[in-house]
Structure 1
Amino acid sequence: MSEKNTFLTETQEKVLRLRNKGLTQAEVARELDSSRANICNIEKRAKKNIGKARETLMLAEKIESPVSVIIEPGEDILDAAKKLFRAADEEGIRVSLDTPELVSEIQSNANKKLDGRRASEEIKLFLNSKGDVIVS
Structure 2
Amino acid sequence: MESFLTEIQINVLNLRKRGHTQDEIANIMGTSRANISMIEKRARENIEKARNTLSIYNDIIAPSKIKIDKGTDVFSIPKIIFSKSDQEEIHVNYSSLQIMEFVNQNAQRYIKNRMVVEPFVVTILQNGDIFVHDYEESEENEKMPKKEI
TM tier relative to shorter chain: 0.7 to 0.9
Q: Distance in 1 between matches of 2:118 and 2:75?
A: 15
Q: Distance in 1 between matches of 2:67 and 2:58?
A: 16
- For 1:36, the equivalent position in structure 2 comes to 33
Q: Deviations over 1:33-52 (max 9, x none)?
A: 31111111211211121122
Following TM superposition, by how much is the alpha carbon of 1:66 offset from its aligned partner in structure 2, in angstroms?
1.2
For the aligned residues, what is the CA RMSD?
2.2
Q: Distance in 2 between matches of 1:101 and 1:33?
A: 46
Following TM superposition, by how much is the alpha carbon of 1:72 offset from its aligned partner in structure 2, in angstroms?
0.8
- For 1:49, the equivalent position in structure 2 comes to 46
Q: Distance in 1 between matches of 2:100 and 2:20?
A: 41
Q: What TM-score, normalized by structure 2, do the two folds share?
A: 0.74
Residue correspondences, number: 133
Instruction: Tell me: CA distance 1:16–1:109, structure 2 relative to 1, closer, same or farther (3 Å).
Output: closer
Larger radius of gyration: 1
Following TM superposition, by how much is the alpha carbon of 1:74 offset from its aligned partner in structure 2, in angstroms?
1.0
Which of 95, 98, 109 is matched with 1:98 structurally? 95
More strand by share: 2
Following TM superposition, by how much is the alpha carbon of 1:55 offset from its aligned partner in structure 2, in angstroms?
2.5
- Structure 1: gaps of 5 or more residues: none
Matched residue of 1:51: which SS?
Answer: helix
Matched residue of 1:131: which SS?
Answer: coil
Identity of aligned residues (%): 37
Q: What TM-score, normalized by structure 1, do the two folds share?
A: 0.80
Following TM superposition, by how much is the alpha carbon of 1:73 offset from its aligned partner in structure 2, in angstroms?
0.8
Matched residue of 1:8: which SS?
Answer: coil
